[in-house]
Structure 1
C-alpha cells in the first residue's frame, strides 16, 4: 500500500496529535454528560420482569418498513420480528417501544392480538394462542408517532433531525447505542441476542437518499411519487447497530481490495449535498484503512456486502454495521469507526460493563492507523492517551453501573485508558506476531456473536501460552495506575536500579514488565525486567560510565515517574556473570560466576524481542541452548524473583 507522509495528513487536517481532541463519539459525551446527569436517571434496561419475558425467545430476523423524511422525527410503519421460542411455551410476547408511539396493531403468527399491555416502554402482548417451545414466532407491529427528545443515546437521541450548519442540509438519523433503539422502533434491547439478518425499507421523498445496513437491493418509485429504498444484510447484527440516515445526499463510491476478499468491497459514501469536494481527500483514506485493518485483524467482516458512511451532524461518529454515521472525516475518526466493524460489530461486548472491548480496541486502532503512516504521530497520540487516562485516576475499565450512560462512555476511562491497556497487553506479550494472531483468533472464535473480557483473556492465553490473569485483574478490574520513584548507582561495569512503586487507585500493586534504557559514555543499552513487588532492585553489567537512566523510553506503560536520581549509597550487588565462550559458535553457551542462584533465564535479541525462556535447576553454572538462534547480539536476563542480572553474548 502506498505510504502517505505526515505532511500530507496534516495538509488535509486529519490528524489529532497531543493536546487535540478527537472528533468522535466520546467528545460528545464530554460536552453533554453533565447536563444529562442532572436529569432523573432512566433505567437503561427494561424492568427485570420484562427482561425475563423477552428472554423467552431468540430473535432471528428484524424487518423494518418505515416512512421517513429528512426534516422530521415522525415515524410510521411496521417492524417484523422473527424469533424462536426457547425451552418453555410462549404465552406473552414482550418487546420495548417508547410510549410516544401509538401501536395500531400487533399480529403474532398471522393472528391479530387484542390483549396488549404497556408499562412505560415495556410492551407485553398476551397471546390468544400459546406458542410451543422450539417453535417459530413471527410478530408484526404497526405503529406511528413522534420520536422522543430525551437524550438517552450515547450522542443525543435515538432518532433525531437537524439542519447541518456548514452546508445547510436537513438530515434525519438514528443512533441507538446503548439503550435508545426503542426510541424509534419496537425491539428487544439485549446485547447477547443478535438477529441473524435484517431488512430495512424506507419510503421517502424522491430527492432523498437513505443509508442503512447491508446492500441496497432495490430502489422503487411508488405511485405516490415517493421512493422506497430496500436495504438487506445477511450478517448477524445487534439491535443498536441497525440504522437509518435520510437526506438529499450526494453519493460517492470507492472500492477496497484487501487480501483474501473474493471481490472488491464497495465503500458507499452518502455525503452532504455540495460537500463532496471538501471531504473527498479524507474519505479516500477509507479503502487503504480497510486493507490495513484486514491484514491486522482478519478480513473485513462484512466483505460480501459493503462498508460506507452516511453523514449526520452528530459531532462525531457511530459505528452502524456496514454503514457508519459520521459528522466529518478526520483521519482518526474514520479509523476508529471502521475498526468498530471488527471490535463492536463483528464481535460485540456481551455486557455494557465490557464496553472497553468495543471502544478501547477501536481507539487503539487509531494508534495503529497512525503508526502505519507516521510513527511520530502515533507516539504523540499515545502520549495524549496516557495523559487523559491519568486524568481519570479512579475508575476501572469494568463499568460497575451499566444504567449510567455517561459512565459507560467515559472518555478518559473507556476510550483512552482502554487503548492504553491494549497497548500494554501488546507489550506484555512482547511478540507482535502472537499479539495480532490472538486478535485474529478472537475475531474468528467470537465473530457474529458477543464476547466478554474473560473470553478475550482466554484467547490471549491460548494463543500466546502466557498466563495473563494478573494483567486483567489489575488493569481491567483494578483502578488507577502505578507511579515510580527510581534511584541508581554504578561501580565499575555494574549498575543497580532501585524501583519503588506507588499507586493512585485501589489496586495495591501493578506487576509489569519494564524496559530500562541506560545511557553510557559508549552508547545506550536497553534492559527488560519484571517488577514483582513494590520495591525491587535490578542489577546489570554495562560498558562505560552511566550518564542517565530512562524508564520505559518508548512509553508502553501507563504510569508516572516522579524522580530518577543517582544514589551513591545504594549498594552494588556482588556479581560478575560471564558467558563462555563469547562469541558462541556452538549449540551451548555457559554462564559462570553468578552472584546468586537464578530460577529462569530469558534471552532477548538486540531490539528487545523475547527469543527463548529457560527454567533453571539450581546450579553454579547455567547451560543455555542457543542452537536455533540466528547470528547476532543477545542479552540474557537472569532472575530468582528477587533480583535480576543481565549479561550479553554474541552468537556466530
Structure 2
C-alpha cells in the first residue's frame, strides 16, 4: 500500500459542530419520556424531570362549567432535556413559557409536549408556566368510577385517583413524583373553595371570592383536590394543637355531626398505632352523596360522598400515613395503601369492643364475612400484589386480602414486632415512595429470624385461596 500526503483544507465551523456532535464532542439533550411505563397506566407521568412545587391559580364559573388556570411548575431536570412532557387531558392551552421565555408546544392525546428555547441541563431547576382554559372533563375509569372534574349542584369536585388530576391541571401525574402545592381558586361570591393543606388567604372583590391553600409537605397529584360549592368550613384543633378544617355541605351537617366529632379520638388512636401524624393539618370534606360514588384519601382532608360512617373515617384518615405520606412507587403497589387502611378498620374494631382482627380474618377465609357470598369469593380473584388489569387495582383482593397479608405478618412476629414494623415503615418512608419489594425487605430486616418466603409466595403473590396451616 502506498501513502500520499495531501494538503489539509479548513473545515467550515458549522460542519465542525456537526462532526463534534456525531462523535460525542458536544452535550445535547434529548426529549424526556412521554410516560413512565407504569404496569397499569403506562402513559401516566413523564421522564426527565422531578417536580418540586405546583403553584395553581384557578378561576371557575359553575354556571358555564368554565375553568381558567395558570400552572407554574417548578422542577429539576434529571437528564439533559431538549423537550419534556406534561400530562393534560382536554382543556385549551393558551401559552407556555419556560424560565420566562416563550416555548414551543404541541398536543397529542393527554400529552402536552414542551420544547424550551434553551435546552435544560441535568440538575438544572426550571420553571414552566402553562396558561389554559375550557370545560374540564369528567373521566370514566376502566372500573366504571368517575374522576377528574365532577360537576355538583352548586360547583365542582376534583378527584384524581388514579389519573383524574390531569383533567384540571398540567403536571407529572404519576404517584412517584410528589411535590408541594399552592392552590388558589376564585369562585362567585357566596361559594367556598376548599383544598388540601391550610388556608392562607380569603379575599372578595367585584362579586368574586378567592381562596388560597398551601400544602407544605410532598403530595402525589392523585390526592390533590378542590371542592367548590356551599360548604360550612369549621376550623378547630386537636389537643396537641394540630389544626383541623372540616368542610360540610349544609345538607349533610346533621347526619355527619356525630361521626365528624370523633376525628380527635380517631387521630389520637391512629397516632398511638401508626406513629406521629405526618402532616400539618387534618380534617374532612363532606359533600352530597351524588357528588362521587366513593370516599377518597385526599391529603390532609379526605373527601366523603355524604356523611361517612366511623369505619370509613378511620380508613381514610389511616391513608394519611399509608398512601399519602408513604406513597406507592407504582399502581401495582396499591395494596400498600388499601391493605393498610383496611387493616386499620380491623384494629379499630378490635380496640373498641368489636370483632378481633383474628375473627375478621377467619370470617373472610371461611367466606361468611358480611352478607354477600360473591364478595367473599372475589377476595381470591388475584393476588394483592399483582392485580390483573387497570380495571382491578381497587378490587377486593387489594383491600381485604391485602389486610390479610398484614395479619399473617402479625401472626408470625407477634404484636410487639408487628407494631414496630408498621410504625417503622411509616417513618422510614415518610414523604417518599416505596414498592412491595421495599416492604417485604423491610419486614424481613425487622424479623431476621423468620422465614417469610411461604407467606409472600402464598398470600401476597400466590393465585387462588392459600391453604391455611
Superposition TM-score, scaled by structure 1 size: 0.61
Tell whether 2:431 aligns with 1:442: no
- Cα distance 1:307–1:273, how it changes in 2: closer, same or farther (>3 A)? closer
State the Cα distance separating 1:204 from its structure 2 match.
Answer: 0.6
Residue correspondence of structure 1 range 308-457 to structure 2 within 5 A: 308-312=284-288, 313-327=291-305, 328-376=307-355, 381-382=360-361, 385-386=364-365, 387=367, 388-401=375-388, 404-410=389-395, 412-429=396-413, 431-457=414-440
What residue is the counterpart of 1:110 in the other structure?
Answer: 100
What residue is the counterpart of 2:27 in the other structure?
Answer: none
Residue correspondence of structure 1 range 193-342 to structure 2 within 5 A: 193-195=177-179, 197-222=180-205, 224-257=206-239, 263-302=240-279, 304-312=280-288, 313-327=291-305, 328-342=307-321
Q: 1:79 aligns with which of 71, 76, 80?
A: 71
Question: In structure 2, how many angstroms separate the alpha carbons of the residues matched to 1:311 and 1:354?
Answer: 29
CA contact (8 A) 1:245 1:310 kept: no
User: Once the two structures are superposed, what CA deviation does each residue of 1:229-259 show, in whole Å capped at 9, x if it has no partner?
Assistant: 11001101111111111111112334323xx
- Cα distance 1:73–1:416, how it changes in 2: closer, same or farther (>3 A)? farther
- Cα distance 1:445–1:400, how it changes in 2: closer, same or farther (>3 A)? same
State the Cα distance separating 1:158 from its structure 2 match.
Answer: 0.9
State the Cα distance separating 1:384 from its structure 2 match.
Answer: 5.5
- Cα distance 1:358–1:248, how it changes in 2: closer, same or farther (>3 A)? same
Question: In structure 2, how many angstroms separate the alpha carbons of the residues matched to 1:176 and 1:71?
Answer: 23
Q: Which has the higher strand share?
A: 1
CA contact (8 A) 2:69 2:169 kept: no
Question: In structure 1, how many angstroms separate the alpha carbons of the residues matched to 2:64 and 2:250?
Answer: 18
CA contact (8 A) 1:241 1:345 kept: yes
State the Cα distance separating 1:71 from its structure 2 match.
Answer: 6.1
What residue is the counterpart of 1:462 in the other structure?
Answer: 445
CA contact (8 A) 2:48 2:77 kept: yes
CA contact (8 A) 1:71 1:161 kept: no
Question: In structure 2, how many angstroms separate the alpha carbons of the residues matched to 1:108 and 1:311?
Answer: 38
SS of the residue 2:115 aligns to: strand
CA contact (8 A) 1:171 1:247 kept: yes
CA contact (8 A) 1:104 1:143 kept: yes
State the Cα distance separating 1:267 from its structure 2 match.
Answer: 2.1
User: Once the two structures are superposed, what CA deviation does each residue of 1:571-628 show, in whole Å capped at 9, x if it has no partner?
Assistant: xxxxxxxxxxxxxxxxxxxxxxxxxxxxxxxxxxxxxxxxxxxxxxxxxxxxxxxxxx
Question: In structure 2, how many angstroms separate the alpha carbons of the residues matched to 1:125 and 1:330?
Answer: 45
User: Once the two structures are superposed, what CA deviation does each residue of 1:349-406 show, in whole Å capped at 9, x if it has no partner?
Assistant: 11111100001111111111122212338677545544345444331112355xx432
Residue correspondence of structure 1 range 521-560 to structure 2 within 5 A: none
- Cα distance 1:104–1:288, how it changes in 2: closer, same or farther (>3 A)? same
Residue correspondence of structure 1 range 56-75 to structure 2 within 5 A: 56-69=48-61, 73-75=65-67
State the Cα distance separating 1:193 from its structure 2 match.
Answer: 1.5
- Cα distance 1:409–1:275, how it changes in 2: closer, same or farther (>3 A)? closer
Q: Which has the higher helix share?
A: 2
Question: In structure 2, how many angstroms separate the alpha carbons of the residues matched to 1:255 and 1:97?
Answer: 37
SS of the residue 1:123 aligns to: strand
What residue is the counterpart of 2:123 in the other structure?
Answer: 134
Q: 1:94 aligns with which of 75, 85, 88?
A: 85
CA contact (8 A) 1:63 1:79 kept: yes
SS of the residue 1:363 aligns to: helix
Unmatched 5+ residue regions in structure 2? 1-38, 368-374
Unmatched 5+ residue regions in structure 1? 1-42, 164-169, 258-262, 484-509, 513-652
User: Once the two structures are superposed, what CA deviation does each residue of 1:66-114 show, in whole Å capped at 9, x if it has no partner?
Assistant: 112556643111111100111x32211310111x31100101000112x
SS of the residue 1:200 aligns to: strand
- Cα distance 1:320–1:433, how it changes in 2: closer, same or farther (>3 A)? same
Question: In structure 2, how many angstroms separate the alpha carbons of the residues matched to 1:70 and 1:279?
Answer: 26
- Cα distance 1:69–1:364, how it changes in 2: closer, same or farther (>3 A)? farther
Question: In structure 2, how many angstroms separate the alpha carbons of the residues matched to 1:351 and 1:181?
Answer: 16
Report how many aligned residue pairs link the two structures. Answer: 418
SS of the residue 1:129 aligns to: coil
- Cα distance 1:92–1:276, how it changes in 2: closer, same or farther (>3 A)? same
- Cα RMSD (Å): 2.2
User: Once the two structures are superposed, what CA deviation does each residue of 1:415-468 show, in whole Å capped at 9, x if it has no partner?
Assistant: 111112212221121x21110111111111111011111111122122233232
Structure with more relative contact order (C-alpha pairs < 8 Å, separation 6 or more): 2
- Cα distance 1:300–1:132, how it changes in 2: closer, same or farther (>3 A)? same
SS of the residue 1:482 aligns to: coil
State the Cα distance separating 1:123 from its structure 2 match.
Answer: 1.2
Question: In structure 2, how many angstroms separate the alpha carbons of the residues matched to 1:383 and 1:70?
Answer: 49
- Cα distance 1:46–1:482, how it changes in 2: closer, same or farther (>3 A)? closer
